[in-house]
């Protein structure tokens, strides 16, 4: 019988006929895709996915997981696209295969050991469907079982990764059996000599102890029978890697570890566990301080059992675990037990992630009932319902960030200075927008420039508190220095009218005024003026006060340079550009807004020297200024392109364009164009006029 037929027969014990046929189809697809490829052992490649599927069948995994197991190396090794799998086997299976491939591509081995835990978390976060992890664990298990055929170096690399990443993941998910197999196979590959020595020692010890073990087992079974309790007593063996870790970690001699006789008693229900405990405590004296009730207070990954140690005959210590069959199942298979257990289908929510949730919920309830620390379960929750992303720095360090974090959050997490001077980013070596949410597993590189400043727009997309606080702080500092310098210019302008200037005012007079305003330093006063909270005119008069009622002689306008920053803005209503006659309107807290002299919105305050000040454009004004143009023209084909190329020909930039047709023959186009100044604007308009069919061009202003 063929391998797939054997599997199909096993599957038919718990899957429907249609589902088994889907698994078969996936097998034949994989067989064809891997045609001609061989395992290192010489077998056809398809034997590997088949073996992986068999491992998952042991766990009674659903048909989609089994299909994904069949196809798990297809994307990676045969160049068949995810889309093709999607068309053949549906979205879910394609997603599972894709998830497994992504984990396979992750390069664990070059990174520092200290980061292993983060890698575990990252792997979990990347697998949005927990079945991805289970398929990957099965894949790794089969590779570990067939590790001998690989070269020494490759074997060690895979073994190390298994011990550091996959065994702990299995442990987190409560999958004891898988973890133990990972550890023993990994130990054997990493330290073949030590593993062999311990193996031989265990064999020898077991031989010597056979008789005593049988005796103890018999007396325990007898003791249960006397009390009329039904239960299975069995001897327990420690796994090699566990012994090795104990010897190293606790610095204990091999004999010390092996001199403990370990048994497990499995019964039908919780109640019976405690009765068994009483019975065995009657049989042998318990060792004080060694009793643990993990039924009332389960271990972090949901493990439940009673542990006690007894003084046996001749004073040999006997370790005993007492648990129910269900607890035994959970202790061995953890999260996978939910597939293994064919429970009432109506009770269990359908779907597969639901099963994983069920497991987490179950553990959570156990822990809550026990009032235990929620630390572990918090971490599993993060793993299964990831609200975190894990990304690499260019040097391979892992950063943990909340879900939705962007490169700016990343930059501030690296260092405040990196955040403040960041101007662009590369995600996986490609330039990307700073606002793009990061994905787990990406490598993020920040491009920074000395003297760069945080952009207020970042506040719209950053998610970490750290980034937000530092951006706000930097903006506040920037705003302060900009308002101080604008305030100084405003004040000096008025003082100049009085034929004096700030540095010619005696210091004590300045101090006097500061005291009166309850301000600490002159910068506070200047900032207030720059922000529009205090009128330069009034302050100037006060500083002048003792020199009599001089009135300003000539008012020279303040020059606008275009570099004033956050405290100066250009009115949206009349969009002034260099060359236009302008005035500044001061509004409290906002700083200065520049309007056209003719703007209707300020006509009421136009001559109030406390609210409006005369402005002029500096000769070397810099920047781009938007103006809105209304172009009326005869309707024609390709009209937008024509307009765009004319504006372009005059070095202008179209920021916005909209069009409505007035009647069949003429159209009205609204253009927002950015220009340097009026001369530039005139050039743009001239170009537009030269177009065929243009009837009228108007610059829009309030």
> How many residues belong to the site for Mn ion (CB under 5 A)?
2
Number of neighbouring beta carbons within 10 Å of residue 484: 21
Q: Which stretch binds Mn ion (CB under 5 A): 132-140, 392-400, 401-409, 545-553?
A: 132-140
At 427, list the tokens.
């995600």
Beta carbon nearer to Mn ion, 49 or 454: 49
Beta carbon nearer to Mn ion, 39 or 246: 39
What is the rounded CA–CA span in Å between residue 555 and residue 613? 9
52 to 81, contacts with Mn ion by CB under 5 A? 73
* Min CB(11)–Mn ion separation in Å: 20
φ and ψ at 376, to 5 degrees? -65, -45
Beta carbon nearer to Mn ion, 129 or 139: 139
What is the rounded CA–CA span in Å between residue 211 and residue 635? 105
Contact of 442 with 405, CB cutoff 8 Å? no
* Min CB(51)–Mn ion separation in Å: 9
Angle at 53 between CA 185 and CA 87, to 5 degrees: 135
* Min CB(72)–Mn ion separation in Å: 6
* Min CB(73)–Mn ion separation in Å: 5
Beta carbon nearer to Mn ion, 139 or 161: 139
543 to 602, contacts with Mn ion by CB under 5 A? none
* Min CB(48)–Mn ion separation in Å: 6
Q: Which stretch binds Mn ion (CB under 5 A): 134-142, 389-397, 434-442, 518-526?
A: 134-142
Beta carbon nearer to Mn ion, 137 or 558: 137
Residue with tokens 């490609």: 430
Percent of the chain as helix, strand, coil, to the nearest 5? 55, 15, 30
Residue with tokens 């690989």: 150
Q: Is 516 annotated in the active site?
A: no
Q: Which helix (H) or strand (E) holds 357?
A: helix 353-370
At 696, list the tokens.
């009228």
Binding-site string for Mn ion from residue 394 to residue 423, where x marks contact by CB under 5 A and - marks none: ------------------------------
Beta carbon nearer to Mn ion, 73 or 383: 73
* Min CB(151)–Mn ion separation in Å: 18
Beta carbon nearer to Mn ion, 134 or 391: 134
Beta carbon nearer to Mn ion, 143 or 443: 143
* Min CB(177)–Mn ion separation in Å: 20
Contact of 389 with 403, CB cutoff 8 Å? yes
246 to 285, contacts with Mn ion by CB under 5 A? none
Q: Which stretch binds Mn ion (CB under 5 A): 110-118, 138-146, 271-279, 580-588?
A: 138-146
What is the rounded CA–CA span in Å between residue 593 and residue 586? 6
Beta carbon nearer to Mn ion, 151 or 692: 151
The residue from 62, 76, 388, 632 that is catalytic is 76
What is the rounded CA–CA span in Å between residue 510 and residue 448? 42
At 320, list the tokens.
């005993």
Binding-site string for Mn ion from residue 84 to residue 123, where x marks contact by CB under 5 A and - marks none: ----------------------------------------
Q: Which stretch binds Mn ion (CB under 5 A): 135-143, 414-422, 493-501, 622-630?
A: 135-143
At 665, list the tokens.
């023959």
Q: Which stretch binds Mn ion (CB under 5 A): 131-139, 370-378, 400-408, 549-557?
A: 131-139
The residue from 77, 523, 597, 624 that is catalytic is 77
At 165, list the tokens.
């990443």
Beta carbon nearer to Mn ion, 65 or 305: 65
Strand segments, DSSP code E, in 18-85 are none
- Three state DSSP letters for 85-139: HHHHHCHHHHHHHHHHHHHHHCCCCCCCHHHHHHHHHHHHHHCCCHHHHHHHHHH
Burial pattern 35-71, b for ≥16 Cβ within 10 A else e, equals eeeebeeeeebbbbbbbbbbbbbebbbbbbbbbbbbb
Residue with the CB atom nearest Mn ion in the bound state: 139
Q: Which of 81, 93, 187 is nearest to 135 (CA)?
A: 93
Handedness of CA 92, 94, 97, 99 (dihedral sign): negative
220 to 239, contacts with Mn ion by CB under 5 A? none
| Beta bridge partner(s), residue 267 | 231, 324
Q: Which stretch binds Mn ion (CB under 5 A): 136-144, 483-491, 525-533, 661-669?
A: 136-144
* Min CB(642)–Mn ion separation in Å: 59
Q: Which of 93, 81, 69, 84 is nearest to 4 (CA)?
A: 69
* Min CB(352)–Mn ion separation in Å: 21
Cα-only R_g, the chain: 39
At 258, list the tokens.
């092996």
* Min CB(239)–Mn ion separation in Å: 25
Binder to Mn ion among 95, 98, 129, 139 (CB under 5 A)? 139
* Min CB(169)–Mn ion separation in Å: 16
Contact of 416 with 395, CB cutoff 8 Å? no
Report how far apart, in Å, the C-alpha atoms of 356 and of each of 180, 274, 349, 375, 433 are: 21, 30, 10, 18, 35
Helix (H, G, I), strand (E, B) or coil at 222: helix
Q: Is 660 annotated in the active site?
A: no
488 binds Mn ion (CB under 5 A): no
Q: Which of 348, 368, 367, 344 is nearest to 358 (CA)?
A: 348
Angle at 178 between CA 173 and CA 182, to 5 degrees: 115
What is the rounded CA–CA span in Å between residue 650 and residue 680? 8
Beta carbon nearer to Mn ion, 139 or 409: 139
| Residue ranges that bind Mn ion, judged by CB under 5 A | 73, 139
Active site residue ranges: 76-77
């Amino acid at each position: 019988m063929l391998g797939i037929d054997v599997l199909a027969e096993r599957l038919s014990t718990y899957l429907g006929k249609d589902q088994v046929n889907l698994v078969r189809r996936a097998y034949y697809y994989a067989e064809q895709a891997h045609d001609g490829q061989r395992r290192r052992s010489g077998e056809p490649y398809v034997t590997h996915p088949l073996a992986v599927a068999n491992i998952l069948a042991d766990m009674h995994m659903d048909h989609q997981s089994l299909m994904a197991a069949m196809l798990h190396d297809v994307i990676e090794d045969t160049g068949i696209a995810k889309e093709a799998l999607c068309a053949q086997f549906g979205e879910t299976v394609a997603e599972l295969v894709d998830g497994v491939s992504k984990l396979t591509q992750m390069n664990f081995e070059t990174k520092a050991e200290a980061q292993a835990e983060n890698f575990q978390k990252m792997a979990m976060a990347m697998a949005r469907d927990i079945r991805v992890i289970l398929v990957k664990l099965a894949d790794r298990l089969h590779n570990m079982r067939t590790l001998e055929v690989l070269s020494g170096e490759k074997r060690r690399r895979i073994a190390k990764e298994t011990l550091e990443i996959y065994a702990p993941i299995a442990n987190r998910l409560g999958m004891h059996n898988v973890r133990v197999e990972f550890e023993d196979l990994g130990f054997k590959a990493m330290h073949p000599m030590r593993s062999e020595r311990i193996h031989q020692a265990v064999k020898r010890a077991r031989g010597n102890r056979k008789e005593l073990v049988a005796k103890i087992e018999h007396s325990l079974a007898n003791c249960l029978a006397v009390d009329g309790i039904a239960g299975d007593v069995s001897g327990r063996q420690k796994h090699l890697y566990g012994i090795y870790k104990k010897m190293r970690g606790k610095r204990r001699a091999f004999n010390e570890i092996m001199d403990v006789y370990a048994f497990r008693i499995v019964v039908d229900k919780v109640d019976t566990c405690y009765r068994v405990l009483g019975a065995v405590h009657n049989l042998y004296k318990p060792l004080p301080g060694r009793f643990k009730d993990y039924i009332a207070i389960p271990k972090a990954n949901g493990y439940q059992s009673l542990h006690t140690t007894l003084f046996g005959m001749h004073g040999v210590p006997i370790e005993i675990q007492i648990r129910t069959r269900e607890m035994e199942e959970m202790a061995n298979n953890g999260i996978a037990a939910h597939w293994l257990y064919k429970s009432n289908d109506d009770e269990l929510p359908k779907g597969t992630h639901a099963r994983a949730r069920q497991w987490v919920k179950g553990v959570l309830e156990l822990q809550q009932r026990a009032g235990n620390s929620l630390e572990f379960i918090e971490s599993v929750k993060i793993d299964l319902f990831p609200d975190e992303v894990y990304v690499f720095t260019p040097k391979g360090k892992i950063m943990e960030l909340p879900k939705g974090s962007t490169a700016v959050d990343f930059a501030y997490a690296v260092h405040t200075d990196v955040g403040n001077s960041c101007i662009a980013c590369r995600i996986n070596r490609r330039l990307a927008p700073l606002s793009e949410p990061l994905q787990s597993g990406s490598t993020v590189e920040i491009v920074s420039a000395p003297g760069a400043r945080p952009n207020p727009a970042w506040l719209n997309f950053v998610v970490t508190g750290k980034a937000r606080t530092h951006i706000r702080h930097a903006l506040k500092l920037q705003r302060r220095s900009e308002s101080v310098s604008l305030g100084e210019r405003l004040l000096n302008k008025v003082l100049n009218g009085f034929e004096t200037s700030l540095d010619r005012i005696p210091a004590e007079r300045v101090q006097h005024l500061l005291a009166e305003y309850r301000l600490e330093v002159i910068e506070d006063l200047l900032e207030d003026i720059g922000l529009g909270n205090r009128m330069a005119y009034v302050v100037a008069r006060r500083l002048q006060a003792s020199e009599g009622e001089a009135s300003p002689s000539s008012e020279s306008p303040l020059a606008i340079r275009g570099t004033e920053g956050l405290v100066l803005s250009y009115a949206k209503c009349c969009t002034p550009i260099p060359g236009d006659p302008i005035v500044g309107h001061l509004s409290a807290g906002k700083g200065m807004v520049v309007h056209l002299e003719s703007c209707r919105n300020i006509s009421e305050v136009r001559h109030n020297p406390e609210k409006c000040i005369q402005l002029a454009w500096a000769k070397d004004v810099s920047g781009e200024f938007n103006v809105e143009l209304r172009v009326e023209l005869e309707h024609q084909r390709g009209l937008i392109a024509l307009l765009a190329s004319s504006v372009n020909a005059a070095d202008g930039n179209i920021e916005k364009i909209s069009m409505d047709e007035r009647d069949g023959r003429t159209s009205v186009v609204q253009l927002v164009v950015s220009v340097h100044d009026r001369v530039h604007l005139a050039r743009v308009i001239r170009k537009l006029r030269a177009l065929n069919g243009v009837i009228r061009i108007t610059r829009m202003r309030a």
